[in-house]
Amino acid sequence: MIQESEVVALVFGVAAALILFFLFRTTRIPRRPWFVAGFLMLVSSSVLTIVEDILWHDLFNTLEHLGHMLSGLCFAVGARSVRRMQERIQKERVP
């Protein structure tokens, strides 16, 4: 049985993806691919949550949780690479 909250989460996720798509086109964000990948993993996890209620529950449940794990990993790698880039810029500024 598909839950309403899962559908609402998917709708908000897709809406946020569209907003971020237009934002990323106009804004320069360092290490952007990591953050885009992380967000796409979250949206795909929402899709998999709904699909798991329809067929092959165990498979899609595992894929859903794998998507959550990979999104966290992508965000962590992206944040770390941005931090390293900022530290490198700070070292270049110090005489």
Residue 24 burial (C-beta neighbours within 10 Å; 0-12, 13-18, 19+): middle
How many domains, in total, are found in the chain? Answer: 1
34 contacts 75 by C-beta, under 8 angstroms: yes
Range of the domain at 17: 4-93
pLDDT band at 1 (very low <50, low <70, confident <90, very high): confident
Q: Per-residue pLDDT tens for 5-55?
A: 888 988 998 998 888 888 878 877 777 888 889 989 999 999 999 999 889
Residue written as tokens 């908000």? 12
Residues contacting residue 87 through CB under 8 Å, at least 6 positions apart? none
What would the two tokens of residue 27 be? 């804004």
15 contacts 43 by C-beta, under 8 angstroms: no
pLDDT at residue 63, rounded to an integer: 95
User: Whole-prediction pTM value?
Assistant: 0.78
Q: Per-residue pLDDT tens for 63-80?
A: 999 999 999 999 999 999
